[in-house]
Amino acid sequence: MSAVMDIYDPELYVDGPIHEIFADLRRTQPVYWQDMPGEPGYWAILTHADVAHVARNPLLFSAETGGVVLENQSPERLEMQRNMLLMMDPPRHTEYRKPLAEHFKARVMGELEDRVRELTALLLDGVDGEVEFVHDVAGVLPSQVVGGLFGIPAQDWPNIRQWAEQTTSQQDPDLVGDFDATAEITKMAIYAIQFAMRRRTEEPRADLTSLILAGEFGGKAMSDIEFGSFFTQLVTAGNDTTKTMLSSGLHLLLDHPEQLRALRSDPALIPGAVEEILRFANPLHYFRRTATADTEIRGVPIKAGDKVAMWYTSANRDEAVFTEPQRFDIRRNPNPHLSFGLAQHYCLGVHLARLEGRVFFEELLRRFPRIEQIGEARRIRSNLNNGLKSLPILLSR
C-alpha cells in the first residue's frame, strides 16, 4: 500500500471506515502525519497504547488550546466553548467535573432504568412495519432521556433533538441542509439559560437542573450562562453518539445473524454485545488535542502547537490489544475499547449510554421476533461521526 494516504478526506469514509488502511499504518507509521486543506495538518495517533498516552497527559496534550476537532475554530467559537467540560484543561476541568461526576455515577444512572425502559417501550410500541430506523427509532430516544434527566418538559424534547442534530455532521451536505450550526447551538443555549432562570424562581425538583443550580463549581455556583453551555454540551455529546450506537448496533447484529440469534435466546449477552458494538462501530472516529510543549510519541518528534488526533477507530482494532480485532464477537472479554475515551475526559455519560444500549436492545428484540433490513444502509459523510444516516428496516411483531 502507498506510504501516503489521505485519511482526512471525509469522502473516504462514505463507504465504511478505512480499516485496512489503518491496519497498514499501525504497522508502518503508527504516528502518521496528515496534511489538511487550507490549514496545518495533524498527527494521527493510531495505536491503543499511544491514544492512551495522549489521553492520560491532558496538560501536555490540551483540549482547551485548540478544541477537540481537527479544523481550527475561530477565537469567538473557542470562547463560546470555554464552559464545556470537553474543552477544559485541568485544574479548571477537575473543579467542574468532580461535582458533576457524582450525578453520573453508575448507581445514580441505574436508578433511571425504569424511566429509560418506559420511554423505550413508548417509542417501540409506536412503530411497526417499514421504518427508517436511524431517524424514526434510534434518533428519538437520546434527547428524551437527556431532556428527562434535566426536567425539560416533554413538548420541548423534539426541539432539543433538532438543535442537537443540526450541530453535528457538518461535513455531510445531506445533513447540514440550510442550517447554521453556531445559530442552532446558540438557540439551544438560550433555551437552557431561560430554563435555568425560570427554575431559580421555583421550588427545587429531583432532577439534574436543580442539582446543578444548587452545586458549587470551582468554589462558586454555576451562572445561567455556564449552565447554558453545560446543557448544550451534554445534549450534543449524548445525542448522535447514542443514536449511532443503537442504529449501527442493529445493523451489525443483522449482519451477524448467528450472534443475533444467540442474543435473542440469552438476553444476558446484551451488555457484552453493547460493548462490542461500541468497539466495532465506535460512534466517534477521533478527538483532537494540541501539544503544549515539544515532545515525542513512539520516537516521532511532536512540536508545541501541533494537532494530535486520538484515532479511536484504529485503536479499537489494535492487534496488540484485541485478538482477531476485525471480527465482531459479542462474547469478547475483556473488551478495553476506547470509544468513550480515557482518563481526564472519560465520557461522563458512559453509564447512561450503556443503560440506554442495554434497555433498547432488550426491548427491541423482545417486541419484534423478526427484524429485516429492506434497503441499503447509507453512511454519514464524515471523518468524525462514524455512523449511519439511514437504515431501512422492516419490524414484524
For ligand HEM, the binding residues (CB under 6 A) are 55, 63, 68, 85-86, 97, 146, 233-234, 237-238, 241-242, 245, 283-284, 287, 339-341, 345, 347-349, 352-353
Shortest separation between residue 165's beta carbon and ligand HEM, angstroms: 15
| 235/233 Cα distance (integer angstroms) | 6
Return the closest-CA partner of residue 157 out of 141, 138, 144: 144
The residue with cell 462514524 is: 386
Q: Which residue lies nearer to ligand HEM by CB, 242 or 290? A: 242
Q: Which residue lies nearer to ligand HEM by CB, 84 or 193? A: 84
Q: Which residue lies nearer to ligand HEM by CB, 5 or 150? A: 150
| 81/154 Cα distance (integer angstroms) | 27
Beginning with the edge strand found earlier in the chain, give each strand of the sheet holding 129-132 in spatial order: 129-132, 392-396, 370-373
| 163/160 Cα distance (integer angstroms) | 5
Instruction: Please name every residue paired with 390 in a beta bridge, in sequence order, or none if there are none.
Output: 378
Q: Which residue lies nearer to ligand HEM by CB, 31 or 160? A: 160
DSSP string, 118-134: HHHHHHHHT--EEEEII
Q: Which residue lies nearer to ligand HEM by CB, 23 or 234? A: 234
Shortest separation between residue 88's beta carbon and ligand HEM, angstroms: 7
Shortest separation between residue 254's beta carbon and ligand HEM, angstroms: 19
Shortest separation between residue 142's beta carbon and ligand HEM, angstroms: 7
Would you give the DSSP letter of residue 91?
T
Residue nearest to ligand HEM (CB): 349
Q: Which residue lies nearer to ligand HEM by CB, 171 or 233? A: 233
Non-local CB neighbours of 337 within 8 Å, separated by 6+ positions: 275, 278, 279, 282, 312, 316
Exposure on the CB side of residue 93, measured as CA atoms within 13 A: 18
Shortest separation between residue 337's beta carbon and ligand HEM, angstroms: 10
Shortest separation between residue 370's beta carbon and ligand HEM, angstroms: 26
